[in-house]
Structure 1
Amino acid sequence: MTIQPIGSASVALYITPADLKEHGLTSAGLTLEQALELTRTAFRQAGIDLEGAIEIEAYPESCGVLVFAHVRAPERCWFSFGSLEDLAAAARALSVPRPDAALLWWEDRWWISLPTGAEQAAARLSEFGRSETHRPHLAASLAEHGRTVLSSDALTGLLTYFPV
């Protein structure tokens, strides 16, 4: 497989007939799901970190498969905290309130989400907790298994209960 970046978030991938055969596939019988899995494999082999959803367009021909892949950045960044005290300290350290922050409880940790693009707030939160954005399918896992504590304006809510 040959992978070539064509932008900051897009790549072109050429999957040869030999690559397909190695995986027990043919270009004629290749499904979109199989093309997506091959694309993910190519990303891993190339050392490209997938942060976010991947969209592909696959063009199978007898000479192989041409895949155009675009990675969408995650919509939210996540941080977890081992204690409520650390989370409250993080909330106090932010200079600007974040009404878009939600608070959840899952796996014996407190979880805060911020929209992607809140770099300054994210940097401050990372001083008190750990960034969890790299975990695959995190938003889905939290939606399914996490318990919502505050659905919005969570950091301001924390300051109400844990003032300085």
Structure 2
Amino acid sequence: LLNRRYLQERMNEEVNRCKRYDSPMSFLMIDIDDFKSYNDLNGHQAGDQALQITAHCLKVALRSADVACRYGGEEFGILLPHTPLSEASVIAERMRQRVAETVYPHGKSQPIGGVTLSIGISTFHKNVDTPDRMIAAADRALYNAKRKGKNRIELHQERVPKERGR
């Protein structure tokens, strides 16, 4: 997989393209659920192997224009150019299912009985219009997926301010 720096460069390019051509773009922040316990129980070599298997599952689900990177630890970032939120949700679900259906060495020792993913999705729009804002929005959605029980996908929901005086 590509590195975080390359992802940042590509996101800058795509944000400029979105602004210029009013085209959609989405971003996925993906985390392997309970990865620390997997590593602690099975050792770092098994953890590295699980990361490689997961990276392969993610890459297989992507299209040629999509950009996947290891974001850090057990997190992955995926840029989906020209992709509205509805399409990004379908891609994310395909990834989540592929990982859940893949047999991992020692996967049965996981709390859910297998390796699973939590995924947060953000999309480019007027209030989420920079790479940092897209990443932060996807990260908040990922946090919500974890908080709601893991092995799920959450979309960044823009908070609409309440009108004052009404």
**Same topology, TM > 0.5:** no
Q: TM-score, normalised by structure 1?
A: 0.30
TM-score (norm 2): 0.30
- Tell me which protein shows more strand as a share of its residues: 1
Between Structure 1 and Structure 2, whose CA radius of gyration is higher?
A: 1
Name which structure has the greater RCO, CA cutoff 8 Å, separation 6+.
2
Higher helix share: 2
